[in-house]
Amino acid sequence: MKRLVLKLLTCLVAIVVATAGHLRVRAQGQAPPDHPSITVGGQTYTPRSILARNMGTPEDQSTAFPPHKIIGNIYYVGTRTLTSYLISTPQGAILVNTTYERNVPVIQKSVEQLGFNFSDIKIILGTHAHGDHQEGDALAKQMTGAQVMAMAEDVPALQGMKPGGKPHPIDRVLHDGEQVSLGGTTLVAHLTPGHTRGATTWTTKVTDGGKSYDVMIGTSLRAPDRITPQILDEFNRSFAKVRALPCDVQLGDHAAQYNMQAKYAKLKSGGANPYVDPAGCKVEEEISEAMVRAIVAEQGGRQP
């Protein structure tokens, strides 16, 4: 009898622990399903593996990756997994993605390590209205006085993002195809929704070594657990649009979307700039699109 009670108790404890663990993981949004799986370029992905690849560990999310020049006037100032870009011009700088608010001082340090002042930042942009990319906007604006500009369709989500109760600053509302210019550099905002309603892909041109290059800063096109017809329509338009954008250098809102670590290692060893990689430009789009199609097929819903 004693043994039975002990067994029952052990079992109960195991159930409670497993349930608590599951709830904790889901509450953090860290564990999408491990199916369906897709293979692109010989690599297999599931929704869970893509998120894990994008985020890394909590330490990866908040530890500076060595700041460095990518190409032309574009510099990396983000963490190991959450990207931030500084675009310097003679009239100040543009910062793309402030990431989590706690990372703003990390980004500031990287900017200063490159020889720029944080207060040089005049414009703050983002790729999409999730905390890991734009939570730091209010603090960064407080520290620099920069103008925060955001795609109209992401404004409601940004307004709900209030770290420490601070309202989310929005100084200019952008629409699909509009330009943001500073000191001779122009970025074009392309509405590429699906992951959020106003997810934005940025394009610009840089000159490096006397040559001109098309740079694309992509937004995440990662599918939610369940794809509604409205979200599928958004993704269909976004995939076609991203495929058609001119691109020699692809960047993203997570470092893994363009193999930053491998490219940075090559950059350090000299030779041609590894970030110039037109052939690799659309791989992340292919992965995202294949995953959306696989999830729709698994849902048994309509295939486009």
Query: What SS3 state is found at 11?
Result: helix
Contact stretch for Zn ion (CB under 5 A) within 72-80, 99-107, 118-126, 128-136: 128-136
Contact 204/187 with Cβ under 8 angstroms?
yes
Contact 131/223 with Cβ under 8 angstroms?
no
Q: What is the rounded CA–CA span in Å between residue 36 and residue 282?
A: 21
Q: Of all residues in this chain, which one has the CB nearest to Zn ion in the complex?
A: 130
Select 130 or 263, whichever has its Cβ closest to Zn ion: 130
Shortest distance, position 127 Cβ to Zn ion, whole Å: 8
Select 154 or 248, whichever has its Cβ closest to Zn ion: 154
Q: What is the rounded CA–CA span in Å between residue 158 and residue 137?
A: 10
Contact track, Zn ion, 200-239, x by CB under 5 A = --------------------x-------------------
Burial class of residue 258, CB neighbours in 10 A (0-12, 13-18, 19+): buried
Select 130 or 168, whichever has its Cβ closest to Zn ion: 130
* Binding residue count for Zn ion, defined by CB under 5 A: 2
Select 131 or 167, whichever has its Cβ closest to Zn ion: 131
- Residue-wise DSSP of 250-287: EE-SBGGGGTHHHHHHHHHT-SS-TT--GGGTTHHHHH
> From the list 70, 74, 130, 219, which residue makes contact with Zn ion (rule: CB under 5 A)?
130
Shortest distance, position 220 Cβ to Zn ion, whole Å: 5
Residues found near Zn ion in the complex (CB under 5 A): 130, 220
